[in-house]
Amino acid sequence: MPLSPLDRRTLLAGLAATPLAAALASASEPAQARVRTQAHIVIAGSGAGGIAIANRLARGLEGARITIIDGREQHFYQPGWTLLAGGIWPADRAALGNNGRYHPRGIEWVKDFVAEFDPTANTVVTRGGQRIRYDFLVVATGLQLNYKAIEGMDEAALGQNGLASVYASPESAASTWKLIDAFRKTGGRAVMTAPNTPMKCAGAPVKVTFLLDDRMREVGTRERAQISYRTGGAALFGVDVYHQDIGRRFEARGIEHHLQQRLTGIDIGAKRATFTGPGPEGAKSTVDYDFIHVVPPMSAPDAVRNSDLSWKEGPFAGGGWLEVNRETLQHRRFPNVFGIGDINGTPRGKTAATVKGGAPIVAGHLIRAIQNQAPDQQFNGYTSCPLITRVGSALLVEFDHDGNLVPSLPFIDPLQDSFFAWTMKVHLLKPAYVAVLRGRA
């Protein structure tokens, strides 16, 4: 949806006074004195967090050896995948090209995955068997999608037979739109799911649901569909005020919802889903569908989960998340290890916006650690995403570790969806994301 000149002027005038503008303007910040060191810093993961840290360290350090390890060559703007699934962006608009384009000059890129972390020996071992020693480690592996935990689920079948998922890849996000477009012509039973684990962008399953509903209304076929939303969690969203708000919106739009119902099995051929209630022995029920949106359980990647770096007790132990101090983002037992992004075992905080907030803190604390100085900043867990409510409107959702709302734009009501928040989502946040990668925002 292109912006009219008036929309554009209103937008720019509003933005001029905001932290987002300040963040983008910081591209011209004066250079700070660089810290000389011969330390070897290994960054596991070349996604949003890993690249943002590499760029910040390359600017802040002189003489350091920086190695990024990641076998994935292409970089995708994942927050754009919901726009692919809603038929708003064409399939290629969320592609950002080769990862190396965003790496700072002079770093080494090992194109492989870490298979083993041994923080006692300050060593990682890649799947190919390369053993790499480090002085400092940044864990930036993101999270693992566990489609296989759903009995009968086959990722290769996504995009056919009414089986959709925005999370698996840009292709599966784009094919979600093809399936939604087909479903809105025929109608039938749509089943929208969410797991009971932490998720990256916990709003994404809700956004896809609102878009499905809206796209059907657009062509006048909404009354031909029954849409139900089933989450394994005890709430529709981890922040109560949004749990309530989404519930009200679902009710107003005729979307029924069920809590503590996790998708545990699927018969793709028969188009039948099995849900399990709370607890290990929860009651099972089956639901027939014409369209299903599958959101898999998520955890730390196995290499982190099975290492000494993961939480061994408490709420983050089950998913194998990284045991960091939630304020300093430094590992609680291995002080030469830091965590950034989705991998962190902290409350909430699995968005690219969290990377934007955490990257300066991790880079700053690592540079202080090189100089034997203690952390001096506290991360509040800033988490944010524009929660699309329909085409042309979104809620700007922003909160901290404790679920307190932390709105950054004074003229935007966090509980009122707006064209402004939609415009941010569709036009502004991709360039802001690239600025985060470059370590400039």
Ligand X SMILES: Cc1cc2nc3c(=O)[nH]c(=O)nc-3n(C[C@H](O)[C@H](O)[C@H](O)COP(=O)(O)OP(=O)(O)OC[C@H]3O[C@@H](n4cnc5c(N)ncnc54)[C@H](O)[C@@H]3O)c2cc1C
> Catalytic residues, which ones?
201, 385
Q: Is position 303 an interface residue for ligand X (rule: CB under 6 A)?
A: yes
Query: Edge-to-edge strands of the sheet including 225-231?
Result: 163-164, 291-293, 188-194, 225-231, 255-258
DSSP 120: T
CA distance 250 to 257: 8
Residues 6 or more apart whose CB falls under 8 angstroms from that of 265 comprise 150, 151, 152, 273, 274
- Please report how close the Cβ of residue 33 comes to ligand X at its closest, in angstroms: 28
Which of these segments, 147-155, 311-319, 342-350, 410-418, binds ligand X (CB under 6 A)? 342-350
**Do 193 and 230 contact (CB within 8 A), yes or no?**
yes
Site string for ligand X, 105-124 (x = CB under 6 A): --------xx----------
CA distance 39 to 35: 11
Which of these segments, 153-161, 182-190, 198-206, 314-322, binds ligand X (CB under 6 A)? 198-206
| 50 versus 232: smaller Cβ distance to ligand X | 50
| 52 versus 287: smaller Cβ distance to ligand X | 52
CA distance 215 to 222: 8
Which of these segments, 4-12, 56-64, 78-86, 186-194, binds ligand X (CB under 6 A)? 78-86
- Please report how close the Cβ of residue 52 comes to ligand X at its closest, in angstroms: 8
Q: Is position 138 an interface residue for ligand X (rule: CB under 6 A)?
A: no
- Please report how close the Cβ of residue 92 comes to ligand X at its closest, in angstroms: 16
Q: Is position 301 an interface residue for ligand X (rule: CB under 6 A)?
A: yes
Q: How far is CA 386 from the centre of its chain?
A: 12
In this structure, which amino acid lies at residue 84? L
> Of 286, 229, 279, nearest to 257 (Cα)?
229
Which residue has 């998922």 as its token pair?
165
Site string for ligand X, 344-373 (x = CB under 6 A): ------xxxx-x------------------
Task: Give kind and range of the element (H or E) at residue 423.
Answer: helix 419-423
- Which residue in the shown chain puts its C-beta closest to ligand X? 47
Which of these segments, 136-144, 190-198, 273-281, 329-337, binds ligand X (CB under 6 A)? 136-144
Q: Is position 72 an interface residue for ligand X (rule: CB under 6 A)?
A: yes
Task: Give kind and range of the element (H or E) at residue 348.
Answer: none
| 195 versus 341: smaller Cβ distance to ligand X | 341
What's the token pair of residue 173? 């996000």
- Please report how close the Cβ of residue 45 comes to ligand X at its closest, in angstroms: 3
Q: Is position 140 an interface residue for ligand X (rule: CB under 6 A)?
A: yes
What's the token pair of residue 55? 């760029």
| 20 versus 287: smaller Cβ distance to ligand X | 20
Q: Is position 239 an interface residue for ligand X (rule: CB under 6 A)?
A: no
CA distances from 230 to 85, 103, 113, 205, 292 (A): 19, 40, 34, 10, 11
Site string for ligand X, 258-297 (x = CB under 6 A): ----------------------------------------
- Please report how close the Cβ of residue 5 comes to ligand X at its closest, in angstroms: 27
DSSP for 268-332, written as a single string:
TTTTEEEEE-SSTTPPEEEEE-SEEE----EE--HHHHTSTTB--SSTTTTTT-B-B-TTT-BBS
Local structure of 36: helix, strand or coil: strand
Q: Is position 158 an interface residue for ligand X (rule: CB under 6 A)?
A: no
The correct pick among 58, 164, 166, 426 for binding ligand X (CB under 6 A) is 166
| 114 versus 273: smaller Cβ distance to ligand X | 114
- Which parts of this chain interact with ligand X (CB under 6 A)? 44-50, 69-70, 72, 78-79, 81-82, 113-114, 140-142, 166-167, 200-201, 204, 301, 303, 341-343, 350-353, 355, 384-385
